Amino acid sequence: MEFQIYRFNPDIDQEPYIQSFTVEVERGMMLRDVLLEIKRRDESFAFRHSCGEGVCGSDGVNVNGKNQLACITPVADYTDDPVVIRPLPGRPVIRDLVVDMSDFYHQYHAVDPWLKRKDPVPEQENLQTPEQRARLDGLWECILCGCCSTSCPSFWWNPQKFLGPQALLSSWRFLADSRDQAEDERLNDLDGPYKVFRCHTIMNCVDACPKHLNPTRAIGHIRNLMLKKSV
């Protein structure tokens, strides 16, 4: 099978280019295995990867125009030659498939992604019913791979101002937590033209998320909560 790979090494290349590799596809092969095979043949090829099982979030790449985690994407999903693999879109390329994710991390940091409590610290755990805990499912599993935010046109246009689907999902993860005691503070911080309201429900994020999370729904919850608070 033919794989067309985006290549760019700033030390050598003036311009990025596409390089083609033909890789024998075996049963059960993931895209990461293909990338590793290409790296075996050409060690100058750079991409991030680590756990190989979709939990560390290192190997987000753009395959035939869609963001994927290479390690949990079966090659068998692709029937048509060639498969085009590019870096995550909208981010500055450092080398080959490695992109600079600083803006993405800054937006994550910007939503104060930690539990805020005002009450005195109890001797034991804070109590939380299984139902209250269930509200966090589909939110806390995010692995910060960046597939969602880098597929979001609003994030492409305003990566320094718009929080993006990932950070908004994380924001809702704390707003939805029965233990968190900073609802008003968080909602105030989210208001303004750029933070939440650059989301135009395009829903590329939902389509891209390799963990099947739904940032658009989380954003909807944030807006509804704002609405509830304002009337």
Partner 1 sequence: MSRHLSGFRAWMWQRASAIYLAGFLVYTLGYLIVAPPLDHQALKSWLGGSGMWLATALFFLALLLHAWIGVRDVILDYIGPAGLRLGILAAVFLFLLVCGLWVLSILMGVL
Partner 2 sequence: MNLIRRNFDVLIIGAGGAGLNAAVQLAKADMRVAVVSKVFPTRSHTVAAQGGVNAALGNVNDDSWHWHMFDTVKGSDYLGDQDAIEFMCREAIPTVYELEHNGVPFSRLDSGKIYQRPFGGQSRGFGKEQASRTCAAADRTGHAILHTLYQQNIKARSHFFTEYFAIDLLQDAEGGVTGALVMDIASGEPMILNARATLLATGGCGQVFRTTSNAHINTGDGMAMALRAGVPLQDMEFFQFHPTGVAGRGMLITEASRGEGGYLINSEGERFMERYAPGAKDLASRDVVARAIVTEVREGRGCGPNKDYVLLKVDHLGEEVVAKRLPGIRETSKIFLGVDPAFEPIPVYPTAHYVMGGIPSDRFGRVVAPAHHGPEEVVQGLYAAGECACVSVHGANRLGGNSLLDILVFGRLSGLDILEYLGEHPRHRLTDSSSEERAMARFQRFDKAGEGIPVAELRREFRKVMEDHAGVFRTDEIMREGMDRVRDIRSRLEDVRLADTSRTFNTARIEAFELENLIDVGMSIVTSALHRQESRGAHSRPDYPERDDKNWMRHSLYFLAEDRLDYKPVRTKPLSVDSFPPKPRVY
The residue ranges that bind partner 1 (CB under 8 A) are: 153-154, 157-158, 191-198, 200, 223, 226-227, 230
Coil, helix or strand at residue 187? helix
Task: Please name which of 11, 22, 8 lies closest in space to residue 97, comparing C-alpha atoms.
Answer: 8
In one-letter notation, the amino acid at residue 191 is D
Q: Which stretch binds partner 2 (CB under 8 A): 5-13, 153-161, 183-191, 194-202?
A: 5-13
Helix axes 215-230, 183-190, angle to 10 degrees: 110
Query: Nearest 5°: phi and psi at 62?
Result: -105, 115
Applying CB under 8 A, among 3, 47, 78, 172 the residue interacting with partner 2 is: 47
How many other C-beta atoms lie within 10 A of the C-beta of residue 179? 16
Q: Which stretch binds partner 2 (CB under 8 A): 18-26, 138-146, 185-193, 220-228?
A: 138-146
CA dihedral 166, 167, 170, 171 (to 10 degrees): -140
Contacts to partner 2 from residues 73-102, by CB under 8 A:
74, 94-96, 98, 101
Partner in contact with 92, chosen from partner 2, partner 1, none, beta carbon below 5 to 8 Å by kind: none
Cβ of residue 152: shortest distance to partner 1, in angstroms? Answer: 11
Q: Which stretch binds partner 2 (CB under 8 A): 35-43, 151-159, 181-189, 195-203?
A: 35-43
Partner in contact with 14, chosen from partner 1, partner 2, none, beta carbon below 5 to 8 Å by kind: none
Task: Please name which of 189, 153, 164 lies closest in space to residue 104, comparing C-alpha atoms.
Answer: 164
- Check residue 57 for interaction with partner 2 (CB under 8 A): yes
3-state secondary structure string across 127-180: CCCHHHHHCCCCCCCCCCCCCCHHHCHHHHHCCCCCCHHHHHHHHHHHHCCCCC
Contact status, residue 162 vs residue 215, Cβ threshold 8 Å: no
Cβ of residue 176: shortest distance to partner 1, in angstroms? Answer: 19
Partner in contact with 226, chosen from partner 1, partner 2, none, beta carbon below 5 to 8 Å by kind: partner 1
Nearer to partner 2, 13 or 81 (CB): 13
Contact status, residue 142 vs residue 152, Cβ threshold 8 Å: no
Coil, helix or strand at residue 26? coil
Nearer to partner 2, 31 or 205 (CB): 31
Which residues of this chain interact with partner 2, rule CB under 8 A?
9-12, 28, 30, 39-40, 42-44, 46-58, 72, 74, 94-96, 98, 101, 105, 109, 112-115, 117, 121-130, 132-133, 136, 140-141, 143-144, 174, 177, 179
